[in-house]
């Protein structure tokens, strides 16, 4: 924990590539992607030279490619299930079927965090669907 102050930004350390197996697999993937990108069949659709890490790492020791990879690795993720929706609070469900947070009056959560399962696709469409559905429920409650 970074601070007990609820307004302080959280400290998030994703531990990207810290495990040797992860780094090894990523290096293999980068090497394969670089080899594929240099194939003559792809040269027409991939204009220009490689931007990063650059051809200078081709014959360099793995340490140079590792360093380039670690400097640029990032994540693109959609957290789900952190405020899971479901019928049973004992199973970890904190939001009921109308998106109300159990135990907190007048609070609803409507984002990917309430999804009870991790979808196999990007969560954007499912989140919009959830928002539309909960908006309809709220309108119905107001009548």
Q: Rounded distance, CA 128 to CA 65, Å? A: 40
Q: Whole-angstrom Cα distance, residue 49 to residue 37? A: 10
Q: How many CB atoms lie within 10 A of CB 125?
A: 10
Residue pointed to by tokens 């994540």: 75
Strand partners, 108: 100
Tokens of 106: 């007048």
* 19 belongs to the catalytic site: no
Tokens 């590539």 sit on residue: 17
Q: Would you please indicate which residues are annotated as catalytic (active-site) residues?
A: 78
């Amino acid at each position: 924990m970074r601070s007990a102050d609820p307004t302080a930004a959280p400290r998030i350390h994703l531990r990207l590539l810290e495990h040797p197996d992860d780094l090894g697999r990523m290096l293999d993937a980068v090497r394969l992607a670089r080899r594929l990108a240099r194939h003559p069949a792809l040269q027409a659709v991939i204009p220009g030279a490689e931007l990063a890490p650059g051809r200078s790492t081709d014959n360099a020791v793995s340490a140079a490619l590792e360093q380039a990879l670690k400097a640029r690795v990032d994540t693109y993720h959609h957290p789900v299930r952190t405020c899971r929706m479901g019928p049973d609070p004992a199973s970890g469900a904190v939001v009921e079927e109308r998106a109300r947070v159990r135990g907190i009056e007048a609070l609803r959560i409507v984002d990917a965090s309430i999804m009870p399962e991790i979808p196999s696709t990007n969560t954007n469409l499912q989140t919009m669907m959830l928002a539309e559905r909960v908006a309809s429920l709220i309108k119905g409650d107001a009548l």
